[in-house]
Structure 1
Amino acid sequence: MRKKFKLWMTVVFAIILSIIVVPMYSAKANTLSIKLNKKSITLKIGETYQLKSNFSESVSCTWKSSNKSIVTVSTTGKLRAKKAGSATVTANINGKTAKCKVTVAKAPAWSRKTWKNKVSDWTMEFSSQYTTVFKSNGTVCQIGWRNKDTGYYRVLSGNKIKAYYTDNYVSWAGSTTPQKVKGYTYTVLYTYNKNTKTVTAKYSSGFYKQMLSNAQDGVLYSN
């Protein structure tokens, strides 16, 4: 009997505590101002950053970007820089807001050119020319003899860009329409040499395992 009484008292106490604490926490959320860990931030194209508010993650927060073409923000406050420019990201909790100004720096001048490899085999039997373009919206495209690979890129530094090719198409022998290669992704690290004004391309090992393209590690030349 005594054990049942203790159990009953424990349940009653828990209910009373929840009735008291939840309204207090809600009142706190309604009265406190919102603060973010950054009021302003500068990112490179392709770079990400996690914004956080001074509230617990359990409190519902709505995030919004004033210009998604420049910077996007996830439902958890993670930023991704898309192209050069400025935008404002707003956090909203219970009608109260806090803002962060996001500036996305311009991509290096050398990346705004069209880059091509030098064909080493004039018969085109073993190698072919391919073209790489870094677009201003943060996407990248590589077009070769029978390939068209697209994805996004990150500016790592003034002379380094890393491309992530996530949508890759191949024109098989005898086909007229390029077909997407499912489950096939790879990366390329591009390094600019300001003395020779060329770019060195270094492909990930996953690229060579597929053997679906004539592209290769090497030097690219601008038009």
Structure 2
Amino acid sequence: MLHLILADSELETVPPEISSEKSIRWKAQRRGRKPTELILDSNYDHRIMRKLPDSERRGRPDIIHVCMLAALDSPLNREDLLKLYIHTRNDKIIDVASETRIPRSYNRFIGLIEQLFLTGEVPPEGPLLRLRDGTLRGIVEEINPEKAITFSSREQEFRRESLFDEVKKEDDVCIIVGGFPHGDFLSRVGELSDEIVRIYPEEFEALTAVTHAIHFYEDEFEVLKGSFNK
């Protein structure tokens, strides 16, 4: 099974230090929530976010949205060979059930994630998303994979044919992808990875890394071929 982790994801609720801003309070009132229950979103809050450290990379729930859509709709997930986790900059973990179908509407997705951060589980009956405290190291240790691989644009080029060396289909493999728009990991991925690889000379989006990670695994273990032979 492939365990895919979106690490250091820029997904968080509005920090207290900007929660009293007029536009934040107005949006909270309109949505029937407290300001600190809203999801920070640079699409709307970019001006106010200049007051925050690392403001240029924070507030990117859109990255998580598109990555989740792609991963959960993949043949690998449909064959029950994918486990997806979201790890955030504030060391929150979202455990994603394979049968989860998140809204394609971005605004509905934001509402869902706000509810998740508020209640810890959604939907209330038979939760498919669960929020808990936890570190990236903690997730990797829970998985205890046969091999842990991090995709990073700052490391050496890799050989496609050696990515899953000494790994069998029944083994647990972990691939870590950054859930942020640019820059480097905040977590110490080097201590958690058997291998850190660069799959393209230039930096690219998290969505591209996610789709390639899934495709590489599907191709290596002939997942699509196996699905037609059932």
Q: Which has the larger radius of gyration?
A: 1
Q: RCO higher in 1 or 2 (8 Å CA, sep ≥ 6)?
A: 2
Alignment TM class, shorter chain as reference: under 0.3
TM-score normalised to the size of structure 1?
A: 0.27
Higher helix share: 2
TM-score normalised to the size of structure 2?
A: 0.27
